[in-house]
Structure 1
Amino acid sequence: MKLFNSDILSNNRMAWIDYARGIAIILVLYRHIFEGISRTGISTTEYAWLENANIVFYSFRMPLFFILSGVFIGRSLAKRTVSKLLFNKFSTLLYPYLLWSVLQISLQICLSRYVNADRSLADYGYIFLFPRRIDQFWYLYALFNVSVLYIFTRQLLKMPIWQQLIAGAVLYILSSYVSIKHIDLGFVYDIMHYYIFFALGDLLSSRILDKENFRHYASWKTFGWMLPFFMVGQYYFLTKDLQMNDNMYVETYQPILFALIALTGCAFMYNISFILQRYNTIKWLRIVGFHSLYIYVSHVLVASATRMVLMKGFGITSVPLLLVICLVMAVIVPIIIYNLAIRAGAWWLYSLDRPAAGKEKLQVQQS
């Protein structure tokens, strides 16, 4: 039995998209798993390099997702009416967010003796208002809200791209202000903070999707001149956050500089993705990228279960070993679960859109 649809690796897909998503989702998993291990009480002080990597990855991984989503909004609107696209966003973003948030909170409450998450019935109320209080799921809610708002302003209010960018920039600066003042706006903050990156994706879409430019994006020359800018940005982000003992310091107090560092990181990751597409190598990363949504919704559950078995069943307390094993399991197991669910007709675990017979169409990729 095949683990996944072989069409994922077909030449009619733009491989760089899957590579970029694969890189981003692995960075997301790294952070969540490392922090989960830290909350168990195991000392991580002797593994400063792991914590440093955790801080560095935080500088660009979420903008990477929002820019990539913005790249395809124009193409999506060209293929669907506004109403159909809104339903698609509800089906593939908000619906799995609601379903898996409720599932994870319920399991954490039932297994409160074994997990390090302190949950209560009040957490169900955070789903709509304060999504960041329920672990990783805030991203799906944020992407849904940003997408819907952008579709509304772009199509119904007819706001041109330059107005979108100005509005996004104003919202972005305001998000820094409310963070400094410790004003918790809940889900509104995420809209304010990431709208600009979504708009930038739309602005750059015509160039990024133009196959005539692919050879430039995939060149080692581009890699060579971007590498020092990437390294300098990451070095500053890391050292400044360590100096201030706050891994959100640059993002909160130096928002313009953070935006430059994040955009440099995103551009560098896209360059790497195009190079991987050029050589058609590390194909497993494409598979991971295609399944990024399905990995995202269930990886915390899988990683937590794996960590409990390793620590309480086998007495493993090595931080690097726990990190590697949990990371591998958090990638592989959700992919297996998703494909088994599709074959069993349980597609509703991930979307309200029934996939076409024999095809995996749930992932919002290249559409």
Structure 2
Amino acid sequence: MTDQSRQSWIDFLRGVSIVLVILGHAYGFAFDADATAVQPIEEIEPGVIIEAVHGINKSVAPFRMEIMFLLSGLFVHRGLAKGTGRYLQGKINNILYPFIIWSLLSFALRQSGAVLAKGEPLDWELVLEMFLGSAAATWFLYYLFIYYLVAPLVRNLNALAVMGVSLLIALFLPEDSIVSPNLFYFFVYFYAGDYLARNEVGITSRPARRWLTLSLAAVAATFVVANLTGKSSTWPGYVPLVLASVPLIFQAAISLSHYRFAEPFKYIGRHSMVFYLVHFHMYIALAYLLEMFTSNEAAIFFLLFIAGLLVPLCISIARRRESMSFLNVLFSPPRQTATATRLS
């Protein structure tokens, strides 16, 4: 399989993950709930569609960000092949830069609302949270940048040892630690992606039927645990189940990426940085404004979800126009000629 076709299915799978993230955030903002679904469905009295969204969010919560980190890990090997200097510069331009820009924008947006609308004082602790990787939305870029820095140092060590130590730290590190256990939890997936790429594991080759059957069983088991227990979406026990699910997920993405309906998802995947960053920060203001006009939480959800797709789409299209090229400064350094659109 060519590199182009391989990138196509990766873009598709990344796009699907981003749409599921937007769906979860729209639900969370509309119902003031944790989109990973700890809140009982009876408490929000939803319609059939909202109930289905609730179920989808619960079922895919152990997969969404995990798959995004794993896909990002696939690019470590190719990046290092270009040389350490270019590798590091690329991560500074494409990850660290937007992390700083959007962390500052997030602080300004949240605090302007708190100060102007609620009369609250500035909360400078939010700045510390952002630069410790615990702020909403930008935490993903924080983790990703650290992973890209650490990966070259540990990629030649025993894979099971590295992943095992990371998982043990995630399991035993207290939730209220300065560094979140999730930093070590998600590293397992990122490292797994790098391992697959550098060892040239045939991820685009169709596995034997018995492996696909096992992978299907792992997906089903993950859904059951997610829906019937109160486990957090980052419960370490999910790791073997999610990793065992990867062959089926990859094969499904490879197969589905050839169909016409996959094109919007591939577009979102190619512009994932825009969709990921814009939708969440827009929701901070938009959810507050919508609540001023309606108390219908279902209506707020649908409006948020639609806006979460359309506004980033418009920005993705607009930033390609010369008259609107100033928008690129939100995602890549002004002097960078090749703009970054992917979360990789």
Partner of 1:106: 108
Q: Which residue of the partner structure matches residue 216 of structure 1?
A: 206
Of 299, 310, 314, which residue of structure 2 is paired with 1:336? 314
Alignment counterpart, residue 26 of structure 1, candidates 19, 30, 33: 19
Which one of 231, 234, 242 corresponds to residue 223 of structure 2? 234
What is the count of residue pairs matched by the alignment?
Answer: 326
2:129 counterpart (116, 122, 126): 126
Distance, in Å, in 1 between the alignment partners of 2:141 and 2:262 is 27
Q: Give me the whole-angstrom Cα distance separating, in 2, the residues matched to 1:328 and 1:118.
A: 33
- Aligned pair in 2 of structure 1 residues 364, 151: CA closer, same or farther (>3 Å)? farther
Change (3 A) 1:216 1:118: farther
Residue 97 of structure 1 contacts residue 141 of structure 1 at CA under 8 Å; is this kept in 2? yes
| Change over 3 Å in CA distance of 1:232–1:195 after alignment to 2 | closer
Output aligned runs, 1:49-198, within 5 Å: 49-78=52-81, 80-112=82-114, 120-129=123-132, 131-132=133-134, 134-154=135-155, 159-160=156-157, 163-179=158-174, 182-186=175-179, 189-198=181-190
The code of the aligned residue for 2:112 comes to C
Q: Which amino acid aligns with 2:89?
A: F
Structure 1 position 226, deviation (Å): 4.0
Residues 170-211 of structure 1: per-residue CA shift (max 9 Å, x gap): 1211111114xx441325x3432222212211221267785x
Report the CA distance between 1:19 and its aligned residue.
Answer: 0.7
Which blocks of at least 5 consecutive residues in structure 1 are unaligned? 1-9, 242-246
Q: 2:267, 2:205 → 1: CA distance?
A: 23
The answer to whether the 8 A contact 1:295-1:335 is kept is: yes
C-alpha displacement of 1:339: 3.4
Q: Where is the helix percentage greater, Structure 1 or Structure 2?
A: 1
**Length-normalised TM-score, structure 2:** 0.82
- Is the CA contact (8 Å cut-off) linking 1:18 and 1:285 kept in structure 2? yes
- Percentage of identical aligned residues: 20
Deviation string 1:206-225 (CA, Å, 9 cap, x unpaired) is 67785xx64627x9998776
Matches within 5 A, 1:35-46: 35-39=28-32, 45-46=44-45
Q: TM-score, normalised by structure 1?
A: 0.77
> Residue by residue, what CA displacement relative to the aligned partner does 1:283-331 show, whole Å, maximum 9, x if unpaired?
1111111111111112112234443443323x25142x32232112112
Contact between 2:257 and 2:263, CA under 8 Å: does it hold in 1? Answer: no
The 3-state SS of whatever aligns with 1:216 is coil
Number of the residue aligned with 1:291: 271
Instruction: Indicate if the aligned counterparts of 1:71 and 1:205 stay in contact, CA closer than 8 A.
Output: yes
1:317 to 272, 280, 296: 296
Q: What is the letter of the counterpart of residue 104 of structure 1?
A: S
Q: Distance in 2 between matches of 1:330 and 1:118?
A: 29
SS at match of 1:135: coil
1:202 paired with 2:194, answer: yes
Aligned partner letter, 1:53: I
- CA distances 1:36-77 after superposition (whole Å, capped 9, x unpaired): 22229xx95323554343222211112101111111111111
Counterpart code for 1:14 = Q
Counterpart CA distance in 2 for 1:88 and 1:365 is 12
The residue type equivalent to 2:225 in the other structure is Y
Shift of 1:13: 7.0
Contact 1:353/1:362 (<8 A) preserved: no
Q: CA deviation at 1:264?
A: 3.8
Alpha-carbon deviation of 1:141?
0.2
For structure 2, the residue ranges without an aligned partner over 5 or more in a row are: 34-41
Change (3 A) 1:119 1:63: farther
1:77-122 CA-to-partner distances (Å, cap 9, x unmatched) read 11x211221121111111111110110111111122659x997222
Secondary structure at 2:177's aligned position in 1?
coil
